[in-house]
Amino acid sequence: QVRLVESGGGLVQAGGSLRLSCTASGRTFNSAAMGWFRQAPGKEREFVAAITWMDSATSYVDSVKGRFTISRDNAKNTLYLQMNSLKPEDTAVYYCAARQLGGNYPSQRAADYVYWGQGTQVTVSS
């Protein structure tokens, strides 16, 4: 059974940093892009960042470019999101997601991801 487990969320002041991790078990995600999404209260889930398997090409939503960095360690089957210069509007539940094998394009569409974690809360105070 495939399982994605996020960790690293918490409460941080504006301007601070957090590093999220997502560990996959049950299968490896070779040749599958992985991504991070977030959902704030009362809002729809939105794309944050994604990364390919083959060449680690990345994609980011404009609001996090220059502040967030997505990376992966394929040997450890782990995905990361380094978040710097955090803002109160970054407050949300952050979800890790993975595409099916062969789905290597770092899509920004939630519907393209078939495996999801339970989420980790990130709260940024002003």
pLDDT of residue 90: 98
Query: What are 24-55's pLDDT values in tens digits?
Result: 988 777 778 999 999 999 999 999 999 998 77
pLDDT of residue 100: 86
Cα pseudo-dihedral 80, 86, 92, 93, rounded to 10: 20
Name every residue whose Cβ is closer than 8 Å to that of residue 77 and which is 6 or more positions away in sequence: 23, 24, 25, 28, 29
- CA neighbor of 34 nearest in space, from 17, 56, 19, 18: 56
How many CB atoms are closer than 10 A to CB 110? 16
Pair of tokens at residue 19: 């590093």
Average pLDDT per 10 consecutive residues for the chain, totaling 126 residues? 92 98 83 93 96 87 97 90 98 95 88 96 97
pLDDT of residue 53: 81
